Each structure stands twice: as structure tokens, then as C-alpha cells.
Structure 1
Amino acid sequence: MRSKKRQGNFDVLKIIAIFLIALHHYAIWSGWKFDPGIHLNKLTAQTLVMGGKLGVNLFVMITGYFMINSKPKIKNLATIWVETTVITLFVYLTTIFFHLDGQVFKPFIFIRRLFPVVFGQYWFVVAYSLLYLSIPMINTVLLSSNLIKIKKGLFTGFIVLSISTYFYLNRGLNFSHPIWLAYVYCIGAYIRLNKDQYSKISSSRNIAYILVTILFSVLINIGLQYLFSKPNLAITQTIDFFGWTETIFYSRDASPLMLILAVLIFILFMNIKFPARKLYSYLSRAAFAVYLLHTAPWFGVNYLLPVIVNADRFYSSSMIFIYGILSMGLISIVSVLIYTCLLPLINLIMQIIEKPIIFLQKFIFE
């Protein structure tokens, strides 16, 4: 059996993906109130919004790339659940202990924090868990099909799951987070199955495609800023009828531009070989804690970003960008340190539930 070597480039890409998600939350939770029309400061803040869906797509593509030829492990899913629970409880108890913004202990809130996945405290963790449990079925379908059929299926999925939502979006009807993640997983798996072809794409050519896609996205954003400053225009009324916003191509989960950009960045990192490092590996694991800590229920959206970070005091485009990088970078560092302190507890819990994990592995995946 050929030994599997860890690839540092994907560890780095996972770290970048989580940081892009953090910048997305910085942009949408800081609370800026911009005037209608085209403004550089608004353009800067809205451009940071693209990191959210881009980061999610990259994270899930990495899963598809590696899991298409592997068997899922309940231990990996259990680790996600345990880390989510421990970190959520840590944040909740910290807010109670320090009485942040008048927070007091409430039994029902505590129960939700004690079972954050069950009560859907993090949409991504829930959707990703459902995806992970579905991997054997997805892999069976993909591995029993040829590349042409998979490519046709991905193209059809692009029209149905992405393009169609720009004319009508009804969550639960024509959009679902688990289904979207499954689709993105299939893209990552397809790239792995067709790796030889994508390995031929030069990095310089790929970077050019990435820059063009980003520029095109920004130009669309500028155009929408202008249109929404003219509410009486027929085209503005039409796109408003379809539920569009200035940042729809950044913020909509099934954004075709963010999906294309994610594919291009993914292929770029696939072809750039970073040597494996223990530091990269550890930080890529700890990066998930960065997501959990800065999006913790109540704390992230109501206190960390609007009160502690307090970025809405800055309105210059340069300060919005620089402060975003610095503040979210600092939050990321603190999150990694907190995760490191909590890791012994996480490992202890994993040891305690080792036997149930072994049983579930045999029951579900074998």
C-alpha cells in the first residue's frame, strides 16, 4: 500500500479559507451604514464580503479532493462535534462569568450551548456533518461514473443550484446548505479524479484567471451600487424584484462567481507544492477553532465584532481594510492560543468516547 504524504499546500489553503471567512464576518457584522451610490469605503468593505462563500467553497473542496478515495471516519466527525461543544461552552461560560453586556445564566440557553450541533448553533457544522455522513453514497455514485458523466452532472448542478437561485430563491425548495456543500464536494472530488489534466494548467495562467474573476466581481459590485442608487430605473426595479442586493454575487451561498473563483484558487494551490510542516498541520486544525470562536452564538455577532473590534468607527477605505486584516489576524492568534489550552480537554473527551466511536464506525461506514 502506498503511504499517504500530507500536503502542506492544502493545510495553508485551509488556513487561508478560514481567514477569508473571518474577514467576511468582519465586513457584515461591523455595522457600517453607507450612503447609496458608489463609494470607495463601501466598495472596500463589500469586497471583503466575498471571503465568506469563497472560504466555505474552498474548505469543502478540500474535503472532496481527499475523501473521494478514502473511507470516512466517525472519529473525525466526533472530533468536530467535541471541539464545537467545548469551544461553545467555553465562550458561553466566559460571557456569563464576566457578565458581558449583562449576560446571565439561563438554563435553556445553556442546553443549546451544551448541544450546539443538535440545536443548529452553527449552520456550517450542521451542514458539513450531514455532508460527511453522506460521503459513502456520494463516492459510490461518483466512482461508478466516468469523468464525462460527472462533468455533465456538475454543469447541470451549476445551472440548477447556482444560476437559477438568481431568479428565484426559496431556502428549502430550490436551495439547501447540505445539498450545496455536497455539490461543492463533488467538484473537489472531480478535480482529484481528473488531476492529471488540471495539473497541466500553469500557475501564471491560473493567477491571471483569478485576477480577472476578482476584477469582474468588483465591477459587478460597482454596477449594482450604481443601480441601487437609482431606484426608479426599470432595471433596478427588476433586479429588486428578483431579490438582488449590492453584494449578491459575494453574499449569496450559491454565487457562481465565488464558486468559479474558489475552483481557480483551489487548482492554483493544488499545483503549488508546499513542503509538509507540523506547524501548517496544527494551524490548519486550529483554524476551525478560529471559525467557532469568532462566530460563537451571541458573542460573535453581538459583542466581539461590534463592541470589541468596533470597526464602524473607521470610514476610510484604507483603515477599513488594514484594521480588518489586523483585528481578524489578532483574533485568529488568540483563538489558536485558546484552542491550544482547550486541546487537552478535547483529547480527554475523545479518549472517553473512544469505544462508542469504534462501534459507530463499524455500524455506519463498514
Structure 2
Amino acid sequence: MNSGGVRSSNIELFRILSMLMIVAHHYVVNSGLIDCIDTQASLHFQDYFLLLFGWGGKTGINCFVLITGYFMCTSNITKEKFCKLLGELYFYKVVIWCLFFFSGYQSFSIGDFLEMLFPFFTVADNFTACFLLFYLLIPFLNKLIHSLTEKEHFWLMTWCIGVYVVLPSFAKAHVVFNYVTWFSILYVIASYIRLYPKECFNSTKITGFLAGVSLLLSWMSIIVLAAFSRMIGKHVGLCYFFVSDSNKILALTTGISGFLFFKNLKIGYSRRINTIAAATFGVLCIHANSDTMRRWLWRDICNNVDAYNDGVIVVHAIAVTLVVFGLCTAIEVFRTKLKEYSKLTRRV
């Protein structure tokens, strides 16, 4: 995957696509569009489009953590790397909170202020903070997986998938679930792929077929369940059942098969792709920064609901998602370059 010490761009391209999936998901679920769709007596083309457009947020999370597990299971985290991620999170938390507060858009709230200062209050649905908490577990996870035999590793992975994926997806089992635990399970899966390569893991044709089938099943489940929800008068959000959280069966299989497919692609090194991919964590820190950011971005600035009512939602969704991703990427690249320049000038 590396050539001359430079990381190839196949996985980095996958990282970019995963973040685009997450931004598209937030475009739909954080803007009031699901409520608009829910008011329709019957679903139309734009409704099905939106439900499919916003399908991949939880799958995208799986993709990100699988990438981390694949690379980090044979590496060690460093204090510098962790501090860099933590600093990036805090930079955007503090700067964006200040912008909203001093512009008058957001009034002072003890809850919002404490969340800005200490963004680790929940391990249930806060991806960025939970990712950092999980990151601290990596040295311990590495000790565990390297002490296991291949057979033990396989059965640990199988047990985790059975309890945390199969039961909640098909048996309606209530499993105590949080992101830190789930990321650790994904780490076990990704490390198995890295440490015990199989012929089927390395076939572009096989993994591409599996990725295509899994993606098609995900979309079909959404369409079928959306139509069914209208028939029985239930909330249209039911359509996301098999991809509604990261541990649902199709969210996992699509993430794994997609990762395996891109792992096997041979596209060489692209500086542009790698630069954009390096900014994806910053994209997440910016556009999913807080509830205030979600309201400002999707409801006030982009005004997704009005675009839906005006019948231009398809073009609007694609254009806005690309623009938001592009602007956040540009901000993060600029911040990184400014930080590098600042370090360089201090040395001089």
C-alpha cells in the first residue's frame, strides 16, 4: 500500500467518499427533511432520492474506524498524533462556539459551554470525542490481538459480530451499545483482515462484487421499508432499520466490503487525494461541530426544507453537499498550512 514510504491513494480515496457519505447523511437527517417526508401520504421520487442520499452516515463511520484499525494494528500511537487530533477537535469547538456566541447567533448556555470545554460527556453518539477516547485504547487492543492465535482472533471477532450485530439486527435484542465499544469491535475486525490476509480479501473482483451486492441490499431495504412505513402509517425513519446505526448488519457488511474493495484498488499515489483525505477529520469537526452548527448550516443557511418544498431538492442536495465538503476541506487545509508555517517561522 506504500511506495517509497508514501501512502498510496486507494484507501485515502475511500476515506474521502466515506466523509461525503457522512455529510450527505447529515444533510438529510439534521435539516428537518425527514419530517417533511413523513408528512407525505405517498412517497414521490424526491422522497426516495433523499432517503437513499442520506443512507450512509453510520456506514461511513464504520469505514473510518476500519481504516484506523487496519493501519494502527501494526503501529503504535504517539503522543504527538493524539495531541494533534485532540488539538484539532478543541480548535474547532472553541473557535466555532466563539463565532456563534459573539455574533449573537447563540446565547450563553452552561450546557453548550461545558460541552465546548469538555466534549466527552457522551459515548453514545458523539463520534469525534468517542474516536479520541477509543484512540487511547489502541495500545491495549494491540496487546490483546497480538497475544491471540489466528483461531482465537477469529472466534473473538465472530462472538462480537454475533452479539453486537446479528442479535440487534434480526432478534430485536437490546444490546448496551456505545461508540467506544463498537470502535473496539471494528478494530478487532480490521486487525484480523490485516494480520491474516486471505485470498478472497485480496481479490478486487470478489470484494467489488460483495460491495456492490451489500450496497444494493442496503438501498433495497430502504426503499422497501420506506414504502411499507407509508402503508402502515409509521414514521418513515423506519426505512433505515438495517443501516440506522453502525452495528446494524448492512451498515457493517457494506463498510467492510467497501473497505476491502478499495484496499485492493491500484491507483498509485495522488498528492491531491491524500491532501483532501488528510482534511476529512477536520471536515467532520467543522460541519458536525454542535447542535447550533447543525441548525445554522442545514436549516438557516442552506435551508434544505425550502428546497424540498420548491421541488429542487435533488440538485440542491448534491450541490450543497459538495460545497460544504469543499469549504470545510479548504478551511482545514488552510489551518494546517498556517500551523506548519507558524512552526517554520518559530524555528527560523
Task: Report the number of matched residues.
Answer: 336
Partner of 1:245: 238
What is the alpha-carbon distance in structure 2 between the residues aligned to residue 300 and residue 36 of structure 1? Answer: 31
Is the contact made by 2:18 and 2:60 (CA closer than 8 Å) also made in structure 1?
Answer: yes
1:92 aligns with 2:106: no
Cα deviation code 1:33-85 (max 9, x no counterpart) = 11255433222111123221111111000111111111111221111111111
1:132 aligns with 2:135: yes
Give runs of aligned pairs for residues 227-306 of structure 1, distance below 5 A: 227-231=228-232, 245-306=238-299
Query: Once the 2 structures are TM-superposed, how far is the Cα of residue 319 of structure 1 from its aligned partner?
Result: 4.3
Cα deviation code 1:200-241 (max 9, x no counterpart) = 42x344333222222222222222223323438xxx8xxx9x
Partner of 1:177: 179
Query: Once the 2 structures are TM-superposed, how far is the Cα of residue 118 of structure 1 from its aligned partner?
Result: 6.2
Is the contact made by 2:43 and 2:227 (CA closer than 8 Å) also made in structure 1?
Answer: yes
Partner of 1:334: 327
Q: Which amino acid aligns with 1:7?
A: S
Q: Which amino acid aligns with 1:207?
A: G
Is the contact made by 1:38 and 1:222 (CA closer than 8 Å) also made in structure 2?
Answer: no
Q: Secondary structure at the match of 2:268?
A: coil
Cα separation, partners in 2 of 1:184 and 1:321, compared to 1, 3 Å = farther
Structure 2: where are the runs of 5+ without partners? none
Identity %: 22
Query: Once the 2 structures are TM-superposed, how far is the Cα of residue 122 of structure 1 from its aligned partner?
Result: 7.5
What is the alpha-carbon distance in structure 2 between the residues aligned to residue 195 and residue 5 of structure 1? Answer: 22
Cα separation, partners in 2 of 1:57 and 1:120, compared to 1, 3 Å = closer
- Higher mean Cα deviation, 20-29 or 134-143? 134-143
Cα deviation code 1:260-302 (max 9, x no counterpart) = 0111111111111232233333222211111111111133321
Give runs of aligned pairs for residues 1-366 of structure 1, distance below 5 A: 4-32=5-33, 33-34=36-37, 35-100=40-105, 103-105=106-108, 109-117=112-120, 123-166=126-169, 167-168=171-172, 170=174, 174-201=176-203, 203-231=204-232, 245-315=238-308, 319-343=312-336
Q: Secondary structure at the match of 2:232?
A: coil
Cα deviation code 1:309-352 (max 9, x no counterpart) = 1122234999434322211211122112222343367569999x
- Higher mean Cα deviation, 63-72 or 280-289? 280-289
Is the contact made by 2:201 and 2:207 (CA closer than 8 Å) also made in structure 1?
Answer: no
Structure 1: where are the runs of 5+ without partners? 352-366
Is the contact made by 2:62 and 2:246 (CA closer than 8 Å) also made in structure 1?
Answer: no
Q: Secondary structure at the match of 2:239?
A: coil
What is the alpha-carbon distance in structure 1 between the residues aligned to residue 275 and residue 293 of structure 2? Answer: 24
Query: Once the 2 structures are TM-superposed, how far is the Cα of residue 86 of structure 1 from its aligned partner?
Result: 0.8
Where relative contact order (Cα < 8 A, 6+ residues apart) is larger, the structure is 1
Root-mean-square deviation over aligned CA pairs: 3.0
Partner of 1:361: none
Cα deviation code 1:120-173 (max 9, x no counterpart) = 797112221222111122122212223232222222211200122244465xx5
TM value normalised by structure 2: 0.85
What is the alpha-carbon distance in structure 2 between the residues aligned to residue 207 and residue 39 of structure 1? Answer: 31
